[in-house]
């Protein structure tokens, strides 16, 4: 584990050094969907969302399906904070996604898709409780949600089981990363931790963009193999 964290530091230094060599100080152009959060870089994937949302707005259910697969865990976690019963929480989560799809024509892209989806889910959960004459199962305040994308609430794993699962999976991923060949790990690390675009990674690593894309894919492929084994052996993940 320590090994991997050291590697991340090394790649950050490598990136900074390469930026100087490139000559314009720093290739400040970040990848689509990249956002700064305090000192840490976070890849949000909002550009991917935008592509999928635009297609879903044209009626492509498969594009919306990918958004559901991407966000159902987080939305489910949010809903579970309101609705204690797992079955009801799943129903409300499903209802939230259906409402979001129906309302897609009203989504103009002024905010991130997830921000918008989050609000729909929170409203659905509150309405569900109101209809049942109940109060939220947790002390959740979402009225002031302007900055909730940076809030821990969104990423909150919720249950201790989910937290343990996350920690376990983190170890597996870290171990898989450490076992990657150098060039694959470099490409994936620069993407996931620095949020660099493929163009910038190509500049840093001195290889064609197509090679970057291929390396990132092969790195993810290798990590996925380990993750899949882990998840299949886990009863908590369907």
Partner 1 sequence: MNTNDKDLEALSALMDGEVQDLELRRLLVSVGSDTELRARWRRQHMVREVLQERRLANTGIDVSAGVAEALSDGSSVGRGPIWSVAVAASVTLAVVMGGQQLLVPEDSVVTPFAVSELGGVVVPVGGAQPIQASLDTQSVPLQVQQSDLNNRRSVETAALYERLASDRYRKLSERHSAASAPIHPAPYITHARAAELADESLPDE
- Report how far residue 128's alpha carbon sits from residue 13's, in angstroms, rounded to the nearest whole number: 50
User: What are the two backbone dihedrals, phi and then psi, of residue 27, each rounded to the nearest 5 degrees?
Assistant: -70, 85
Count of residues in the chain: 238
Q: Does the protein bind partner 1 through residue 170 (CB under 8 A)?
A: yes
CB of 230 to partner 1, least distance (A): 10
Q: Which of 51, 137, 151, 175 binds partner 1 (CB under 8 A)?
A: 51
The distance of closest approach from Cβ of residue 144 to partner 1 in the complex, given in angstroms and rounded to an integer, is 13
Q: State which of residues 12, 14, 19, 101 lies at the interface with partner 1 (CB under 8 A).
A: 101
With 0-12 / 13-18 / 19 or more C-beta atoms within 10 angstroms meaning exposed / middle / buried, residue 124 is: buried
Answer yes or no whether residue 116 interacts with partner 1 by CB under 8 A.
yes
CB of 16 to partner 1, least distance (A): 20
| Alpha carbon distance 189, 199 (integer Å) | 15
Query: Quick one: which of 1, 9, 26, 103 contacts partner 1 (CB under 8 A)?
Result: 103
**Nearest 5 degrees, angle CA 66-CA 120-CA 128?**
115
The residue to which tokens 């790990």 are assigned? 185
Name the residue among 216, 227, 223 with its Cα closest to residue 43: 216
Contact call for residue 55 and partner 1 (CB under 8 A)? yes
Choice between 23 and 165, CB closer to partner 1: 165
Q: How far is the CB of 89 from partner 1 (least distance, A)?
A: 8
Residue 98 touches partner 1, criterion: CB under 8 A: yes
d(CA 226, CA 233): 11
199 close to 188: Cβ distance less than 8 angstroms: no
The correct pick among 6, 13, 36, 167 for binding partner 1 (CB under 8 A) is: 167
Which residues inside 60-89 make contact with partner 1, applying CB under 8 A?
60-66, 68-70, 72-74, 76-77, 80, 86, 89
Is 14 a binding residue for partner 1 by CB under 8 A? The answer is no
Residues numbered 122-141 forming contacts with partner 1, rule: CB under 8 A: 123
Q: Give residues 17-46 in contact with partner 1 (rule: CB under 8 A).
A: 31-33, 40, 42-43, 45-46
Specify the residue, 19 or 169, whose C-beta has the smaller distance to partner 1. 169
Q: How far apart are CA 238 and CA 236, in angstroms?
A: 7
Touching partner 1, residues 207-236 (CB under 8 A):
213-214, 216-217, 220-221, 223-224, 227-228, 231, 236
In the three-class reduction of DSSP (H, G, I as helix; E, B as strand; rest coil), residue 143 is classed as coil
Q: What DSSP element (H or E) covers 177? A: helix 160-178
């Amino acid at each position: 584990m320590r090994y991997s964290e050291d590697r991340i530091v090394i790649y950050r230094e490598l990136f900074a050094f390469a930026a100087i060599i490139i000559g314009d100080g720093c290739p400040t152009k970040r990848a689509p969907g990249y956002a700064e959060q305090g000192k840490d870089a976070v890849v949000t994937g909002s550009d991917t969302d935008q592509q999928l949302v635009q297609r879903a707005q044209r009626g492509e259910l498969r594009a919306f399906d990918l958004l559901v697969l991407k966000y159902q865990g987080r939305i489910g976690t949010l809903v579970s904070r309101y609705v204690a019963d797992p079955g009801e929480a799943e129903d409300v989560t499903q209802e939230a996604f259906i409402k979001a799809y129906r309302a897609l024509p009203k989504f103009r892209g002024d905010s991130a898709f997830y921000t918008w989806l989050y609000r729909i889910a929170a409203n659905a959960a509150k309405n569900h409780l109101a209809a049942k004459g109940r109060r939220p199962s947790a002390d959740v305040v979402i009225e002031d949600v302007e900055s909730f994308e940076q809030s821990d609430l969104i990423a909150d794993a919720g249950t201790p089981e989910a937290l343990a699962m996350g920690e376990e999976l983190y170890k597996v991923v870290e171990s898989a990363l450490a076992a990657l060949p150098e060039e694959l790990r470099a490409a994936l690390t620069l993407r996931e931790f620095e949020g660099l675009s493929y163009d910038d990674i190509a500049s840093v690593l001195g290889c064609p963009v197509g090679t970057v894309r291929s390396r990132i894919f092969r790195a993810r492929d290798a990590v996925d193999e380990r993750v899949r084994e882990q998840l299949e052996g886990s009863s908590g993940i369907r």
